[in-house]
Chain A
Amino acid sequence: MARYILRRSGYMLVTMIFVAVIGFLIIELPPGSYLEFEIARLRQLGGDMAPEQIRALEVRYGVHDPIYLKFWKWFSGFVRGDFGRSFEHRLPVSELLWQRLGFTVLISVLTMIFSWVVSIIVGVYSATHRYTIPDYAITVLQFIGLSVPNFLLALVLMVFAQQVLGMEVGGLFSGAYRNAPWSLAKFIDLLKHLWIPILVIGASGTAWLSRVMRGNLLDVLNMQYVQTARAKGLSERTVIWKHAVRNALHPLVMVLGMSLPGIISGETVVAIVLNMPTTGPLYFRALLQQDMYLAVTFLMFLAVLLLIGNLFADILLAWLDPRIRFE
């Protein structure tokens, strides 16, 4: 097992280097460099630079270095946590990122837990109550959840929260707490705001996962070993939860690995609508503005998340299913 994780980590490293090369090419592809951008900006402001000055800066920033050297400089910087500078925000990318990454991870993890817990419970319920009225109702809700776009759901919930619950909506904090230092009250305020984004981001995933769970469980309930478990005299609850659900979880775990980046990009739209201080809107703007270092850093982070998610899913799968062996 440990050897397997080690080997997988090795593969992940190789994959990351590939992603880095592609990411770097994306940075280099558009004409111009950060330096030219700076010079143009200075000129616009009315200042000018002597050609010698420019040349000195070019040497300092390595504009004319061969491409592999440039790559190495960027990559080694990246590994050390120096992700370059954002043109638009005129700040180091790392500063921009760390500020917002915490909220993104918090929301993503909570959304994932929410959608897993709800889809397992709902899936089990509708599979064991097939063709009853609650099952039909759940099916309708699932198709609504799948087909209503996130942003629309966000808007609807915002209106609902404001009109019916009288909440101050948008963002993750009420005005009074937005810039206040952390305190218990601020934390509670955060919790009050979190449910909308979690519900919105999780809706379609939950609808889909619970559908998958229902279908799987129905398959597993037809298996002979479920009958064996009943023949032992186990209660129906034990039969379902211990013998059937466990064997129906595989596809859920398999999509787990892929759902991490999905949650982050799905979050983007919602975060824009709900005005949340997460990484999504930042990534979106970076792409629009060709803010290359910022965009590539996001790309790299998404790739890492995907790889880690897959590794995590594989380990979980092995734990669930003894037939999966690592050699």
Chain B
Amino acid sequence: MAKQAGSSTTPEGLVVRVRDLHVYFFTDLGVSRALNGVSLDIPAGKVTGVVGESGCGKSVTALSIMRLVPHPGRITKGEILLYREREKQNGHSIVEEVNLTDLDPQGPVIRSIRGAELAMIFQEPMTSLNPSYTIGDQIMEAILLHQQCTRKEAEERAVDILARAGMPNPQTVVRRYPHELSGGMRQRAMIAMALSCTPSVLFADEPTTALDVTTEAQILDLMRELQAAMGMAIVFITHNLGVVAQMCDTVAVMYLGRVVEQAPVEPLFYDPQHPYTRALLRSIPHVGSRTKARLQPIRGVVPDPYATIEGCPFHPRCDYRKPGLCDVRVPATTQVGENHTVRCFLYTEQGEDNG
């Protein structure tokens, strides 16, 4: 299950590599194809943005990597690889490759990874903390689970990490219950909890959507700051392209259960390749744009995930579609620049099946 990759750095500087991931929900209404072959690279120590319309599978992607896909969802195909550094006795660290898709989702191996290497914060700070336990108890629970220390040391660490998360009066906040804190403070507590065991990847699923603009800006600053200080990778899921521009190093654009384009921030914003990415960018206002161009909504609607679409899932809404190709085959992922990949027949002749 765990192989040694041998080198002292992770392959190509990645912490997580997702390949052709399929996740289906087997509901009473039929099969909902939430993920249809997601391929995503998460570079170590960088902020990766994940954007896309509602229902395209952003949350499910994050949950799959954590192996927390809720019932009746199942990973039906593909693999998720985690590269983790292990100290060896002689001081050298080696990189171990763990195939997360092979693990029992409730088993001890994935549980030792969750919280310790992969951490997650959610959209709703009001409901993501347990109302019955104090903030301190909830943070200490993670510390005591993954690190060997006494309760007293754990409490000290909890106070410490709360202070780093910019929580005022951390000594008293550890004894407070979630309902005694404001939304912004709860999200700080969540961040502190997620970072308490210094994970290598933090999944942030729309962490500021429920907050007001000022608090949102503070939380974003905080995450950037902590990311720089602690060096973990952040996977930042959002609808807000402005936030992506401000926060992220690279961006993955998702459409209907697939990553259609992944690129560093600058090329993505200034030189988008996929028709969907271009449409997405045209649909948001630009600060300082000189043109009086109207915002253009994307034509059509997102098809429902129960339906199966032949070919490229975007072709019914695409201005560049090539009949006989786009509505028949799914394009393969193509390299179009440094760390810039796209899935569209404008850039390749290769379909998924033969590429």
- Cβ of B123 to closest chain A Cβ, rounded Å: 8
B131 touches A321 (CB 8 A): yes
Which chain B residues in 260-294 approach chain A with CB under 8 Å? none
Is A230 interfacial (CB-CB < 8 Å)? yes
Residue of A nearest to B190 (CB): A228
Chain B residues near A235: list those with CB within 8 A. Answer: 106, 111
Which chain B residues in 119-170 approach chain A with CB under 8 Å? 119-120, 122, 124, 127-132, 134, 141-142, 145-146
Chain B residues near A233: list those with CB within 8 A. Answer: 111-116, 142, 145-146
Chain A residues near B115: list those with CB within 8 A. Answer: 231-234
B130 touches A231 (CB 8 A): no
Is B82 interfacial (CB-CB < 8 Å)? no
Chain B residues near A246: list those with CB within 8 A. Answer: 132
Q: Kindly supply a per-residue 1/0 record for chain A positions 220-251, scoring 1 wherever the CB is within 8 Å of any chain B CB and 0 otherwise.
A: 00011101111111111000000100110000
A231 touches B127 (CB 8 A): no
Is B177 interfacial (CB-CB < 8 Å)? yes
B122 touches A247 (CB 8 A): no
B132 touches A224 (CB 8 A): no
The listed residue (B128, B134, B146, B179) touching A225 by CB distance below 8 A is: B128
- Cβ of B344 to closest chain A Cβ, rounded Å: 34
**What CA separation (Å) do A228 and B68 show in the bound complex?**
10
Most chain B C-beta atoms within 10 Å of own C-beta, residue among A231, A234, A235, A236: A231
Is B66 interfacial (CB-CB < 8 Å)? yes
Take A231-B120, A234-B141, A323-B179 as given contacts and tell me if A225 and B68 are in contact as well, using a CB distance cutoff of 8 Å: no
**What CA separation (Å) do A231 and B115 show in the bound complex?**
6
The listed residue (B122, B131, B141, B177) touching A227 by CB distance below 8 A is: B122
A225 touches B130 (CB 8 A): yes
- Cβ of B341 to closest chain A Cβ, rounded Å: 29
**What CA separation (Å) do A243 and B113 show in the bound complex?**
20
Residue of B nearest to A231 (CB): B120
Chain A residues near B114: list those with CB within 8 A. Answer: 230-233
Majority-rule SS of A interface residues: helix
- Cβ of A250 to closest chain B Cβ, rounded Å: 10
B128 touches A228 (CB 8 A): yes
Question: How many chain A residues touch B (Cβ–Cβ < 8 Å)?
Answer: 20
Q: Kindly supply a per-residue 1/0 record for chain B positions 191-214, scoring 1 wherever the CB is within 8 Å of any chain A CB and 0 otherwise.
A: 001100000000000000000000
- Cβ of A215 to closest chain B Cβ, rounded Å: 17
Residue of B nearest to A320 (CB): B132
Is A181 interfacial (CB-CB < 8 Å)? no
Is A322 interfacial (CB-CB < 8 Å)? yes
A323 touches B113 (CB 8 A): no
Residue of A nearest to B124 (CB): A224
A323 touches B177 (CB 8 A): yes
Chain A residues near B119: list those with CB within 8 A. Answer: 231
Take A225-B129, A228-B129, A243-B130 as given contacts and tell me if A322 and B177 are in contact as well, using a CB distance cutoff of 8 Å: yes
Take A228-B122, A323-B179 as given contacts and tell me if A247 and B130 are in contact as well, using a CB distance cutoff of 8 Å: yes
A232 touches B145 (CB 8 A): yes
Chain B residues near A228: list those with CB within 8 A. Answer: 120, 122, 128-130, 190, 193
**What CA separation (Å) do A228 and B128 show in the bound complex?**
6
Take A233-B112, A322-B177 as given contacts and tell me if A224 and B127 are in contact as well, using a CB distance cutoff of 8 Å: yes
**What CA separation (Å) do A247 and B130 show in the bound complex?**
9
Chain B residues near A232: list those with CB within 8 A. Answer: 114-115, 141-142, 145, 193
Q: Kindly supply a per-residue 1/0 record for chain A positions 126-152, scoring 1 wherever the CB is within 8 Å of any chain B CB and 0 otherwise.
A: 000000000000000000000000000
The listed residue (B66, B122, B145, B193) touching A224 by CB distance below 8 A is: B122
- Cβ of A41 to closest chain B Cβ, rounded Å: 62
**What CA separation (Å) do A230 and B70 show in the bound complex?**
11
Residue of A nearest to B71 (CB): A130
A322 touches B179 (CB 8 A): yes
**What CA separation (Å) do A193 and B112 show in the bound complex?**
50
Chain A residues near B179: list those with CB within 8 A. Answer: 322-323
**What CA separation (Å) do A229 and B131 show in the bound complex?**
12
B111 touches A223 (CB 8 A): no
**What CA separation (Å) do A233 and B115 show in the bound complex?**
5
Chain A residues near B111: list those with CB within 8 A. Answer: 233-235
A323 touches B131 (CB 8 A): yes
The listed residue (A231, A243, A320, A322) touching B68 by CB distance below 8 A is: A231
- Cβ of B196 to closest chain A Cβ, rounded Å: 9
A229 touches B132 (CB 8 A): no
**What CA separation (Å) do A238 and B141 show in the bound complex?**
11
Chain B residues near A320: list those with CB within 8 A. Answer: 132
Take A230-B68, A322-B179 as given contacts and tell me if A225 and B127 are in contact as well, using a CB distance cutoff of 8 Å: yes
Chain A residues near B112: list those with CB within 8 A. Answer: 233
The listed residue (B68, B106, B132, B194) touching A247 by CB distance below 8 A is: B132
B131 touches A247 (CB 8 A): yes
**What CA separation (Å) do A323 and B146 show in the bound complex?**
29
Closest 4 CB pairs of A and B: A233-B115, A233-B114, A232-B115, A224-B127
List, sorted by A's number, 22 A–B pairs whose CB atoms are closer than 8 Å: A223-B127, A224-B127, A225-B128, A225-B131, A228-B120, A228-B122, A228-B128, A228-B130, A231-B68, A232-B115, A232-B141, A233-B112, A233-B113, A233-B116, A233-B142, A233-B145, A234-B115, A235-B106, A246-B132, A247-B131, A322-B132, A322-B179
Listed in ascending order, the chain B residues whose CB lies under 8 Å from chain A are 66, 68, 106, 111-116, 119-120, 122, 124, 127-132, 134, 141-142, 145-146, 177, 179, 190, 193-194
Listed in ascending order, the chain A residues whose CB lies under 8 Å from chain B are 223-225, 227-236, 243, 246-247, 320-323
Known: A229-B130, A231-B114. 19 other contacts (CB 8 A): A224-B124, A225-B131, A228-B120, A228-B128, A228-B129, A228-B193, A230-B68, A233-B111, A233-B113, A233-B114, A233-B116, A233-B142, A233-B145, A233-B146, A234-B115, A247-B131, A321-B132, A322-B134, A322-B179
